[in-house]
A = this chain, B = another copy of it.
Amino acid sequence: MSLPTPKVLAFDIFGTVVDWHGSIAREVDAMELGVPGGQFALAWRMGYKPAMQRVMSGELGWTLIDDLHRMILDQILGQFGISHLDEAQKRHLNKVWHRLDAWPDSVQGITRLKSRHVVCSLSNGNIGLLANMAKRAGIPWDCILSAEVFRAYKPDPATYLGVAKTFDVAPEEVMLVAAHHDDLAGARAYGLQTAYIERPMEFGASQPKDVSPRAENTMHCTSIVSLAEKMGC
């Protein structure tokens, strides 16, 4: 059975479209906090899944990622022994997640794909974070979709199927684009097509990531521009 051409391409954001590690490392290094920015970025990101798990388990009520980021930030500032930041500085630092730089191919790739497909985000990030990020980085989304819209985080089926429902298309007419096999596996389980994007430097140059292809994905691409080329855009 041949797959339909996807009408909607839904993009994972952190690591797939934007470089969270490099962006946070640069900003933290510039702040001269006395901790290597790359280590700080990794510690912050590592707190993310456990924090979401507390929401998904019901221990915490529905919480925006901005607020989870702040909870984790307060923890790691303590762990790294950083105690001199005032409230305004902490609020500003927490919003570094709104100021992440796109990978060099992201804007061109998404712009080309937009010519023939609906392009949207599908991120656990909150709407305001994703909108501020897109405006700053020049990412031309047709629509920002987020866990906040569906009141559920990926890999909850309400997110993947929510994209199809939003655009009134069949699940197989949606393709999730992500640099993470677990996210793609979640989408595939509910009938979406999947495109893996290689981001070997997601965790920084000192921790190269295995980006080997997996046969289960519909497509495997070295970049979003490469995806656009394969899709004829």
Is A209 among interface residues, defined by CB-CB distance under 8 A? no
Interface residues of A in 135-187 (CB under 8 A from B): 135, 140, 142-145, 148-149, 166-168
Binds B, one of A19-27, A33-41, A126-134, A217-225: A126-134
Q: B-contacting residues of A (Cβ < 8 Å)?
A: 66, 118, 120, 126-128, 130-132, 134-135, 140, 142-145, 148-149, 166-168
Chain B residues near A168: list those with CB within 8 A.
Answer: 66, 128
Task: Give the complex CA separation of A128 and B169 in angstroms.
Answer: 10
Chain B residues near A145: list those with CB within 8 A.
Answer: 127
Q: Told that A66-B168, A127-B166, A149-B149 touch, could you supply 6 new A-B pairs with CB distance under 8 A?
A: A126-B166, A127-B145, A127-B149, A128-B166, A131-B143, A144-B144
Task: Give the complex CA separation of A132 and B126 in angstroms.
Answer: 22
The 6 lowest CB-CB distance pairs between A and B, nearest first, are A131-B143, A128-B166, A128-B167, A135-B142, A127-B166, A131-B142
Chain B CB within 10 Å — which of A130, A134, A145 has the most? Answer: A145
Task: Give the complex CA separation of A140 and B127 in angstroms.
Answer: 16
B127–A131 contact, CB under 8 A? no
Task: Give the complex CA separation of A134 and B143 in angstroms.
Answer: 9
Of B120, B131, B143, which one neighbours A167 at CB under 8 angstroms? B131
Closest residue to A166 on the B side, CB-wise?
B128
Chain B residues near A143: list those with CB within 8 A.
Answer: 127, 130-131, 134, 144
Chain B residues near A66: list those with CB within 8 A.
Answer: 168
Pairs A–B under 8 Å by Cβ, sample size 9? A118-B131, A118-B135, A127-B145, A131-B142, A131-B143, A131-B167, A132-B167, A134-B142, A140-B140
CB distance from A24 to the nearest CB of B (A): 19
Chain B CB within 10 Å — which of A126, A134, A135 has the most? Answer: A135
Task: Give the complex CA separation of A134 and B140 in angstroms.
Answer: 12
